Structure 1
Amino acid sequence: MRVPWSDGRWTREPASTEQRGDALVVRALEGSDYWRETLYGFVHDDGHALLGAWPADAAIEVSFDSASLSELYDQAGLMLVAGPERWVKAGIELSDGVPQLGAVVTDGRSDWSMAPVPEWAGCIVTIRASRIADAVVLRARADDGPWRTFRVTPFPSDASAGPMVCAPSRDGLEVTFTAWRHVAADTELHADPPVMVR
Structure 2
Amino acid sequence: MRKTVNWQSGVWSNEPVSAKVLDGTFIVEAAEGSDYWEQTMYGFQHDNGHALLASWEDSDAVEVSFSLQGFTELYDQAGIMLWHSSTEWIKAGIELNDGVPHIGAVVTDGYSDWSLSPVPEWSGGVVTIRASRLNDAVVIRARTENHPWRTIRVARFPYETGKKAGPFVCAPTRAGLQVTFTRWVNTAPDTDIHVDPPVA
* Same fold per superposition (TM over 0.5): yes
How does 1:21-60 map onto structure 2 within 5 Å?
Answer: 21-60=23-62
What is the CA distance between 1:145 and its match in structure 2?
Answer: 2.3
What is the CA distance between 1:195 and its match in structure 2?
Answer: 4.9
8 Å CA contact 1:186–1:194 kept in 2: the answer is no
Give the secondary structure class of the aligned counterpart of 2:148: coil
Give the secondary structure class of the aligned counterpart of 2:5: coil
Q: 2:19 aligns to what?
A: 17
Give the secondary structure class of the aligned counterpart of 1:73: coil
Give the secondary structure class of the aligned counterpart of 1:147: strand
Give the secondary structure class of the aligned counterpart of 1:68: coil
Distance 2:6 2:15 in 1: 17
What is the CA distance between 1:144 and its match in structure 2?
Answer: 4.4
- List runs of 5+ in structure 2 lacking aligned partners: none
Q: What TM-score results when the alignment is normalised by the length of structure 1?
A: 0.97
Cα offsets for 1:90-146 (capped at 9, x unmatched): 000001111000000000000000000000010000000001111100000011421
1:112 to 108, 111, 114: 114
Q: 2:75 aligns to what?
A: 73
Distance 2:133 2:6 in 1: 22
Q: 1:157 aligns to what?
A: 160
Q: 1:148 aligns to what?
A: 150
Distance 1:182 1:173 in 2: 26
Identical-residue share of aligned pairs (%): 58
Q: How many residues align?
A: 196
Cα offsets for 1:41-72 (capped at 9, x unmatched): 00000000000011220100000001111110
- List runs of 5+ in structure 1 lacking aligned partners: none
Distance 2:153 2:58 in 1: 19
What is the CA distance between 1:21 and its match in structure 2?
Answer: 1.6
8 Å CA contact 2:58–2:132 kept in 1: the answer is no
What is the CA distance between 1:157 and its match in structure 2?
Answer: 2.8
